[in-house]
Structure 1
Amino acid sequence: MDNKRHYTDLIKSEAKRLGFLSCGISKAEFLEEEAPRLEKWLEQNRHGEMRYMENYFDKRLDPTKLVPGSKSVISLLFNYYPHEFQNKDSYKISKYAYGRDYHFVVKDKLKQLLSGLQEEIGEFHGRAFVDSAPVLDKAWAAKSGLGWIGKNSNLLTKQTGSFYFIAELIVDLELEYDTPVTDHCGSCTACIDACPTNAIYEPYKVDGSKCISYFTIELKDELPDSYKNSFDDWMFGCDVCQDVCPWNRFSKPHNEPLFNPHPSLLEYEKSDWEEITRETFNEIFRKSAVKRTKYEGLKRNIAFLKH
Structure 2
Amino acid sequence: MSDADQRSSKHPHAPPDFSALLGELRAWASELGFSQIAVADIDLRTAEPGLLAWLDAGFHGSMDYMAAHGLKRARPAELVPGTLRVITARMDYLPSVTFGTPEGWQAIEWQRLAQPTQGQISVYARGRDYHKVLRARLQQLADRLAQRIGPFGYRAFTDSAPVLEVELASRAGLAWRGKHSLALSRDAGSMFFLGELFVDLPLPVTPAIEPHCGSCSACLDVCPTQAIVAPYRVDARRCISYLTIEHDGPIPLELRPLLGNRIYGCDDCQLACPWNKFAQAAVLADFDARPGLAGASLQSLLDWTEPEFLRRTEGSAIRRIGFQRWQRNLAVAAGNALHAGHAPELRPVLEALLPAATPLVAEHLRWALSTPGALGALQGRPAVDPSCP
Q: Give 1:258's aligned residue.
A: 286
Contact residue 126 and residue 294 of structure 2 kept, 8 A = no
Query: By how many angstroms is 1:58 displaced?
Result: 3.0
Cα deviation 1:158-186 (Å, max 9, x = unaligned): 01100111000010001111111111001
Query: By how many angstroms is 1:121 displaced?
Result: 1.1
Query: By how many angstroms is 1:279 displaced?
Result: 2.9
Cα deviation 1:67-118 (Å, max 9, x = unaligned): 1111111000011112237893421111111111111111000000001100
Secondary structure of residue in 1 paired with 2:162: coil
Cα deviation 1:238-267 (Å, max 9, x = unaligned): 111011100001112212112222212235
Query: By how many angstroms is 1:306 displaced?
Result: 1.7
From 58, 62, 79, give the equivalent of 1:45: 58
Q: Give 1:293's aligned residue.
A: 321
What's the TM-score once normalised by structure 1's chain length? 0.96
Q: Give 2:297's aligned residue.
A: 269
Mapping of residues 116-135 of structure 1, within 5 Å: 116-135=144-163
From 214, 217, 221, give the equivalent of 1:193: 221
Secondary structure of residue in 2 paired with 1:178: coil
Deviation larger for 52-61 or 119-128: 52-61
Q: Give 2:386's aligned residue.
A: none
Contact residue 228 and residue 234 of structure 2 kept, 8 A = yes
Answer yes or no: is 1:226 the counterpart of 2:240.
Answer: no
For the aligned residue pairs, the C-alpha RMSD in angstroms reads 1.6
Answer yes or no: is 1:144 the counterpart of 2:168.
Answer: no
Query: By how many angstroms is 1:270 displaced?
Result: 2.2
Q: Give 1:24's aligned residue.
A: 38
- Structure 1 or 2, whichever has the larger Rg, is 2
Distance across 1 between alignment mates of 2:253 and 2:76: 41
Contact residue 7 and residue 121 of structure 1 kept, 8 A = no
Contact residue 110 and residue 128 of structure 1 kept, 8 A = yes
Amino acid of the structure 2 residue aligned with 1:22: Q
Answer yes or no: is 1:215 the counterpart of 2:229.
Answer: no
Contact residue 28 and residue 72 of structure 1 kept, 8 A = yes
Query: By how many angstroms is 1:2 displaced?
Result: 6.6
Deviation larger for 199-208 or 79-88: 79-88
Cα deviation 1:17-57 (Å, max 9, x = unaligned): 1111111101222x122100010110110001000001222
Amino acid of the structure 2 residue aligned with 1:61: A
Contact residue 25 and residue 74 of structure 1 kept, 8 A = yes
Distance across 1 between alignment mates of 2:290 and 2:33: 22
Q: Give 1:73's aligned residue.
A: 86
Contact residue 238 and residue 255 of structure 2 kept, 8 A = no
- Which structure 1 residue ranges, 5 or more long, are not aligned? none
Contact residue 22 and residue 77 of structure 1 kept, 8 A = yes
Contact residue 58 and residue 65 of structure 1 kept, 8 A = no
Q: Give 1:109's aligned residue.
A: 137
Cα deviation 1:109-151 (Å, max 9, x = unaligned): 0000001100011121111000001110000000000111000
Secondary structure of residue in 1 paired with 2:86: strand
Contact residue 88 and residue 194 of structure 2 kept, 8 A = yes
Contact residue 106 and residue 130 of structure 1 kept, 8 A = yes
Count residues with an aligned counterpart: 306
Distance across 1 between alignment mates of 2:256 and 2:250: 12
Deviation larger for 44-53 or 79-88: 79-88
- Which structure 2 residue ranges, 5 or more long, are not aligned? 1-14, 99-107, 336-389
What's the TM-score once normalised by structure 2's chain length? 0.76
Distance across 2 between alignment mates of 1:146 and 1:258: 23
Distance across 2 between alignment mates of 1:33 and 1:210: 27
Deviation larger for 60-69 or 106-115: 60-69
Q: Give 2:23's aligned residue.
A: 9
